[in-house]
Amino acid sequence: MTPQLTEAQTPSIAPWIAEPYRLWSHLDMLDFHAALFVIVMGHLSDMTAIIVALNIQGFGNDSMSHVREQFREPLSGLVREIDKLPFSPVTNDMLQRFVRRIETEDQMTLNMAAEHTKVIRNAILVDMTEAWFLMVPATRRHFYLEREPFGEAVITAFPNATFDIIEAGKSIALDRWTAAVFHLMRVVEHGLRALAVLVEIPMAAEVEFEQWRNVIDQIQKQIRAMEQETRTPERTARLRVYADAASQCWFFKEAWRNHVSHSRSKYVENEALEVWDHVRSFMQRLAVLRQS
C-alpha cells in the first residue's frame, strides 16, 4: 500500500523554490522530495503491478472498461498528489491526461496503459533531476545565515554597507573567495567615506567620487592639522583612532583593494577569511566612532 502524507506534511511548492535564499539540509529535502517521490512512484508502481497481473491473465489487449475498478485506488492517489508536486508543466499535463484516459476512455487497452506508465515514470525522473543543490559545510553555515555578521552596531552605523557585508558572508559560505574579498573592499569604502566625514576633510561632500589615494591623503593631512590644535586626553585618543583607521585604509588599498578591483589577484580560503576578520574589526571600530 502506498504511504500517504498528511496536509501538514504536504507543501504545495518545493520549499527551496518558495525560499531560495535559505539553506536546506538533507533532512529538509528528504521531508519534501523523497516523501512525495515515494508516494507518486508508489501509485505508478501499484498500477504497473496490476497491469502485469492482468496481462498474465490474458487481458493485455482488453479495453480498460473491463478492469477499471481495479485501478480506482492508485488513480485516486495520483489525483490527490498531482497538484502538490513541483513537476514541469509537460509532466503535470501528461499525468492529468493519463488519469483522464484511464478513467474515461474505453478504447485504451492495458498494454497502452503500460506504455503510458513507463513514459510518465521517465518524465518524473527527469523532472527530479532539475533541482540542484550546493552543500554548505556546517562550519561555514553562519556566514550564509547571519543577517548581522559584523554586529548590530555596524549595521546601524552603516546601513548602506549591509548588502555587501551579507554578500561577502554568502560568498565565503559558497567558496567564492575572490568574490568575498571584492564585496569586503566595497564595505571598506563605506568606512573610508565615513572617516572622511568624521575628520571633516574639505572634499567630504564628494568623497564617493574620489580615488581612494586622494581621500586617504586628505584624511591624513587633516589629522596632522588636528594634532596641532589644543589637546585633551579624549581628543588625543580619538585622533589616535583616526590615524589608525587611516593607516588601515591605506593597507586595505595596497594589500587587497587595488588587486581585486583591477583583476590582478584571486584569493583562496585563508586569505578571504583574513580579509573578513580585518574588515570586520575595522568597521566595528568605526561604528563606535560614528555613534560616539
Question: For 126-178, how does the pLDDT look when each residue is reduced to its tens digit (9 = 90+)?
Answer: 877 776 778 888 899 999 999 999 999 999 999 999 999 999 999 999 999 99
Q: What is the mean pLDDT of residues 206-210?
A: 72
pLDDT in tens, 3-33: 444 444 444 556 666 677 777 776 666 666 5
CB contact at 8 A, 32 and 14: yes
pLDDT > 90 fraction of the chain, expressed in percent and rounded: 33
Number of H helices, E strands in the chain: 14, 0
pLDDT given at position 9: 44
Which residue, among 70, 178, 86, has the nearest Cα to 130 in the 3D structure?
86
Q: pLDDT-derived band of residue 191, with 50, 70 and 90 as boundaries?
A: very high
CB under 8 A, 24+ apart: contacts of 76-85: 77/2, 77/4, 77/39, 77/42, 77/43, 77/46, 78/40, 78/43, 78/44, 81/10, 81/36, 81/39, 81/40, 81/43, 83/12, 84/10, 84/11, 84/12, 84/36, 85/36, 85/40
- The whole-chain average pLDDT of the chain stands at 83
Average pLDDT over residues 90-96: 85
Question: Are the CB atoms for 43 and 74 separated by under 8 Å?
Answer: yes
Distance from chain centroid for Cα 79: 33
Q: Is the pTM of this model over 0.95?
A: no
The answer, yes or no, to whether residue 109 has pLDDT greater than 50, is yes
Measured CA to CA, the distance from residue 31 to residue 11 in angstroms comes to 10
3-state secondary structure at position 109: strand
The answer to whether the beta carbons of residues 86 and 13 sit under 8 Å apart is: yes
Average pLDDT over residues 54-62: 79
**Position 204 pLDDT exceeds 60:** no
| Cell numbers standing for residue 203 | 572634499
* Winning range, highest mean pLDDT, from 111-115, 158-162, 227-231: 158-162
* Three-state DSSP class for residue 253: helix
In whole angstroms, how large is the CA radius of gyration of the chain? Answer: 32
Give CA torsion, residues 228, 232, 237, 240, to 10 deg: 10
- List the one residue out of 73, 75, 74, 96 whose CA is nearest residue 85: 96
